[in-house]
Amino acid sequence: MLIHLPIAQIAVDPLVIVAIGTMVGFLSGLFGVGGGFLLTPLLIFYGVPPAVAASTQANQVLATSIAGVSAHWKERAVDTRLGTLMLLGGLVGSTIGVAIFGVLKHFGVIDTTISVLYVVLLGVIGGLMAWESVGALGKAGGDPGRRTRMNTWIRGLPYKRRFPRSGLYISIIPLLGVGFVVGLLAAVLGVGGGFILAPAMVYLLGVPTRVMVGTSLFQIIFLTAYVVFLQATFNGTVDLVLGFVLMIGGVVGARLGAAAGRKLKAAQLRLLLALVVLAMAGRLVYDLYVEPKPAFRLEEAS
């Protein structure tokens, strides 16, 4: 059986879409990332127009994030106070990032800049995470040490607040700063930013891995709701039928992912996330340097 998507204007097999949603939802629940970086290319590969795929995936991520947060909320592993501050920084950063994106696009250097920046960023983050978590697995397999050189510097900053859920007493400046930088990068790179935010929370701010997952999802709820609303209202590229079918699989996957996460040690979780980040960097390198690009493409003219 096929169903017709009113905005994408194609017919799709709902079972395939549910399967894609479940797989990405599982990763979302497990790692606290939105999963857009995986969902968008999968939908495009299945034949969904790129603009519709990029916008509609945010709608699925919204639903799975709500389901995922609920599971972590029950475990008292969501720091809403910390998440809200980072979200504020993220909204400002993404707004400025959109402007920077426009400037780079104007000068025609956006594609190469983004791809190279992406590969470097993902490679460094994934590599460092993998290195650290493999080392941690040989020990207790818990969270990384909180008193790193960076943490020591951050502890000296003013405007300190207490975040009991994360067990932190730190300045709000690095929280806003991390949110801002992640929002900026997310806007320039065109993805949600969860996979940048998650390691930043653990390694820079010292948030425990389990609280990081729930708190990251908490922020993703609001960011994706904002994106979905803007894309649906001004670009008309959100396909509600596609989004609904994706969500059905996504929410199931998110619950399964959260349950699987509870059975893993924190270091195992970080190592798996590192591997996902490195796999994504590998895919980009493949796209950039190996896969032949078609000489022609077609666009609708105005």
Partner 1 sequence: MRLSVLLLAVFLVRPAAAQLSEAPREAPQPMIVAGLAEDQVEVKVNYAGARIVLFATAPADESGSSGLAVALIGPSAPAEVIRRKPTGGEERFEFVTAPAVFAIGAEPQVAGTIPPDVMIEAGLNAAASAMPKADKLDSADLDMWRAAFVDLKMSQGLYSFDTTTIERLDGGLRRAKIKLPANAPPGEYKVRAVAFRNGHTVGMTEKTLTLVRGGLDATLFDLSRQHGFIYGFLAVLLGSIVGGIAAWIGRR
Judged by CB, which is closer to partner 1: 50, or 135? Answer: 50
Q: What interhelical angle do 14-31 and 50-74 show, nearest 10?
A: 50
In the set 149, 158, 233, 289, which binds partner 1 (CB under 8 A)?
A: 233
230 binds partner 1 (CB under 8 A): yes
Q: Does 120 bind partner 1 (CB under 8 A)?
A: no
- 106 is an interface residue for partner 1 by CB under 8 A: no
Q: Does 298 interact with partner 1 (rule: CB under 8 A)?
A: yes
Binding-residue total with partner 1 (CB under 8 A): 53
* Closest CB 240 distance from partner 1, rounded Å: 6
Contact 86, 175 (CB under 8 A): yes
Sole window of 38-46, 169-177, 202-210, 231-239 interacting with partner 1 (rule: CB under 8 A): 231-239
Pairing assessment for the beta strands 3-4 and 168-171 based on DSSP bridges: unpaired
Nearest to 181 by CA among 204, 148, 156: 204
Identity of the residue, 255 or 270, whose beta carbon is nearer to partner 1 in the bound complex? 255
Q: From the CB of 231, what's the least distance to partner 1, in Å?
A: 8
Cα separation, 288 vs 282, in Å, equals: 10
Backbone angles phi, psi at 227, to 5 degrees: -65, -45
Whole-number Cα distances in Å, 91 to 14, 37, 62, 212, 277: 34, 19, 16, 19, 23
Cα gap 77→83, rounded to integer Å: 12
Chain residues that interact with partner 1, rule: CB under 8 A:
1-4, 6-7, 9-11, 59-60, 62-67, 69-71, 74, 108, 224-225, 228-234, 236, 238, 240-241, 243-244, 247-248, 251-252, 254-255, 293-302
